[in-house]
């Protein structure tokens, strides 16, 4: 079986990276991670990748004269690795328009809200402060705009009375670890198609594309 080669971009501890590593370790999983890149040398996810014998690279913004050169370095290293899909997993950097367009429909991200609601940072705190009853997470194709692009899969969790940002974050993170490998699997199996700004997935039901977890 030819497995889809993926690169994962991280900035922190790499818990979603670990979920992808674990999924790719399954013999029947149709993708493999060939490279992990971080823009921070102290990112904990680098150790996770090394423990799984995955190639790692640190590419720092401060080593370049401008952001375009930084993005170019990312692009060159990813292409050198042979990756055909790029997964952002807590990558704290807004990639430039040229990069996003060069990898259009081959660049995905996971975001801890039900997009298009609550974009940017600290979204769990925003959800609690706004008093929403449900929140969740979204895997989407990346577009140049912040946290924008066609939605592949979402998971819905309740926001309980007394929740704070930390408790809601933990509940959402559990679902992130489920839906990110699911999205990668669908893409690797060739079941995902983007029509306009809508994702069409063959052989799935609505329940598979929107996971609702009322008790989580």
Give the residue numbers marked as catalytic.
111
- The continuous run of DSSP H or E covering 208 comes out as helix 206-209
* DSSP three-state, residue 203: coil
Q: Where are the alpha helices (DSSP H) in 104-193?
A: 123-130, 165-188
Task: Indicate left, alpha or beta for 141 from its phi (over 0: left) and psi (-120 to 50: alpha).
Answer: beta
Best CA proximity match to 211, nearest among 141, 116, 160, 136: 136
Could you tell me if 124 and 160 are in contact, meaning their C-beta atoms sit under 8 angstroms apart?
no
- Separation between Cα atoms, residue 44 and residue 42, nearest integer Å: 6
The DSSP secondary-structure symbol of 123 reads H
Instruction: List, in order, residues 6 or more apart from 80 with CB less than 8 Å away.
Output: none
DSSP lists the bridge partners of residue 145 as none
The residue among 147, 45, 154, 122 whose CA lies nearest residue 89 is 45
């Amino acid at each position: 079986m030819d497995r889809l080669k993926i690169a994962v971009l991280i900035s922190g501890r790499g818990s979603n990276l670990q979920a992808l590593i674990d999924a790719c370790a399954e013999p029947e999983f149709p993708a493999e991670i060939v490279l992990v890149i971080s823009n921070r040398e102290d990112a904990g996810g680098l150790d996770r990748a090394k423990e799984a014998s995955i190639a790692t690279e640190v590419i720092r913004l401060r080593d370049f004269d401008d952001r375009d050169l930084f993005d170019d370095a990312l692009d060159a290293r990813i292409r050198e690795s042979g990756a055909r899909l790029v997964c952002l997993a807590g990558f704290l950097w807004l990639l430039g328009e040229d990069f996003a367009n060069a990898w259009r429909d081959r660049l995905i991200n996971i975001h801890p809200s039900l997009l298009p609601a609550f974009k940017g940072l600290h979204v769990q705190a925003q959800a609690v402060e706004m008093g929403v009853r449900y929140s969740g997470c979204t895997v989407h194709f990346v577009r140049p705009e912040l946290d924008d692009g066609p939605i592949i899969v979402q998971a819905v969790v309740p926001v309980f009375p007394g929740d704070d940002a930390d408790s809601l974050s933990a509940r959402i993170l559990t679902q992130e670890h489920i839906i990110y490998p699911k999205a990668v699997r669908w893409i690797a199996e060739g079941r995902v198609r983007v029509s306009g700004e809508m994702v069409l997935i063959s052989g799935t039901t609505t329940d598979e594309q929107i996971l609702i977890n009322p008790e989580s």
